[in-house]
Structure 1
Amino acid sequence: MTTLVALRAPKWHVHAACRNADREIDWIDAELGSKAAKGCKEICRLCPVRLTCAITALTRDESYGVWGGMDQVDREALRHADAQIAA
């Protein structure tokens, strides 16, 4: 038997700047350093839920995309710095 799970976006998504952004922007597959990735980061720059988004990505260990103005390289650098502080 197959079980379907309803996925609901967190409540903070309704306040995200990307919610009304151009649908042509690919937030998940934007190549590092590309014009698309820079565009995503620019939209994030003034987003009212940027910090919540970034924390969500770090908590979920997101490997792809731009979250809270950070791409995967930014998030990995932050994780590495955190590990260095904890050591």
Structure 2
Amino acid sequence: MTKLVALRAPKWQGHAACRNADREVDWIDAEPRSKAAAACKEICRLCPVRLTCAITALTRDESYGVWGGMDQADREALRHADAQIAA
């Protein structure tokens, strides 16, 4: 028998500054270092769940978009720095 499971966003997302942001802001397709990414980061700047969002993106190895005030290039730089420390 197939069991249906309701998918829910994590509770922290309900407190995110982006939940009420302008729908024109493109969080997923914002190219690193672009004006769109800068607009997203500005919204993230004072977000109460910014750290949780950033940790979620790093844990999931998110490749696209702005998460916790970091775009793809920022996350890759952080991963690279972490790898250099670990080496």
TM-score, length of structure 2 as denominator length: 0.91
What's 1:18 paired with? 18
- Written as runs of structure 1 = structure 2, the 5 A alignment for 1:12-51 is 12-51=12-51
- Give the CA deviation at 1:61: 0.2
The residue that corresponds to 2:9 in the other structure is: 9
Identify the residue that residue 79 of structure 1 maps to in structure 2: 79
Structure 2 residue ranges without an equivalent (≥5): none
TM-score normalised over the length of structure 1: 0.91
* CA–CA distance in structure 2, aligned partners of residues 3 and 83 of structure 1: 41
SS in structure 1 at match of 2:9: coil
CA drift of 1:86 comes to 1.1
Identity score, percent = 90
Distance in 2 between residues matched to 1:4 and 1:74, nearest whole Å = 37
Structure 1 unmatched runs, 5+: none
